[in-house]
Amino acid sequence: MAEKLLEIRNLTVGFQTDNGVVKATDRVNLTLNKGETVCLVGESGSGKSVTSLAVMRLIEYGGGAILEGDVGFKGDDLTSRSQEEMIRIRGNKIAMIFQDPMSALNPVYSVGDQIAESVMLHQKKSKKEAWKTAVHLLRLVGIPAPEMRVKQYPHELSGGMCQRVVIAIALACDPDLLIADEPTTALDVTVQAQILDLLRKLQKDLGMSILLITHDMGVAAEMGDRIAVMYAGVIVEEGAVADIFANPSHPYTIGLLQSVPGLEGARGEELYTIRGNIPSLNQLPTGCRFHPRCPHVRERCKSTEPPVFKVNSDHQAACWMYASGGDSEAWRQELEQRS
Ligand SMILES: Nc1ncnc2c1ncn2[C@@H]1O[C@H](COP(=O)(O)OP(=O)(O)OP(=O)(O)O)[C@@H](O)[C@H]1O
Ligand code: NI
For atom 25 of ligand 1, the residue with the nearest CA is 44
CA–centroid distance, residue 186 to ligand 2 (Å): 13
Q: What's the CA gap between 338 and 299, in Å, rounded?
A: 19
For atom 6 of ligand 1, the residue with the nearest CA is 15
Q: Give the confidence band of 269 by pLDDT, cuts at 50, 70, 90.
A: low
CA–centroid distance, residue 48 to ligand 2 (Å): 5
Q: Please, which residues have CB within 8 angstroms of residue 169's CB and are 6 or more apart in sequence?
A: 104, 114, 115, 118
Q: Strand, helix or coil at 139?
A: helix
Pair 210, 176: CB distance under 8 Å: no
Give residue 311's pLDDT. 93
User: Does residue 263 surpass a pLDDT of 70?
Assistant: no
Pair 70, 53: CB distance under 8 Å: no
Mutate to test the pocket of ligand 1, among 12, 19, 43, 48 (most ligand atoms within 8 A of CB): 48
- Taken as a whole, the chain contains a residue count of 339
CA–centroid distance, residue 15 to ligand 1 (Å): 10
Pair 4, 33: CB distance under 8 Å: yes
User: Does residue 270 surpass a pLDDT of 80?
Assistant: no
Give residue 226's pLDDT. 97
Q: Please, which residues have CB within 8 angstroms of residue 272's CB and are 6 or more apart in sequence?
A: 255, 258, 259, 266
Q: What's the CA gap between 21 and 281, in Å, rounded?
A: 9
Q: Which atom of ligand 1 is nearest to the CA of 233?
A: 14
Closest listed residue to residue 277, CA positions, set 54, 56, 46: 46
For atom 4 of ligand 1, the residue with the nearest CA is 15
- Where are the domains positioned within the chain? 102-174, 254-338
Q: What is the pLDDT of residues 131-159, one digit of tens each?
A: 999 999 999 999 999 999 999 999 999 99
Residues with CB under 6 A from ligand 1: 15, 17, 24, 42, 44-50, 62-64, 215, 281
User: Does residue 13 surpass a pLDDT of 90?
Assistant: yes
Q: What's the CA gap between 179 and 269, in Å, rounded?
A: 36
Helix (H) or strand (E) holding 299: helix 299-303
The fraction of the chain above a pLDDT of 70, given in percent, is: 96
Q: Strand, helix or coil at 95?
A: strand
ipTM of the complex: 0.98
User: Does residue 40 surpass a pLDDT of 90?
Assistant: yes
CA angle 105, 49, 19 (to 5 degrees): 120
Question: Where do the DSSP E strands lie in the chain?
Answer: 4-17, 20-33, 37-41, 64-73, 76-77, 94-97, 177-181, 209-214, 226-231, 234-240, 309-312, 315-317
pTM over 0.90: yes
Give residue 264's pLDDT. 52
CA–centroid distance, residue 214 to ligand 2 (Å): 8
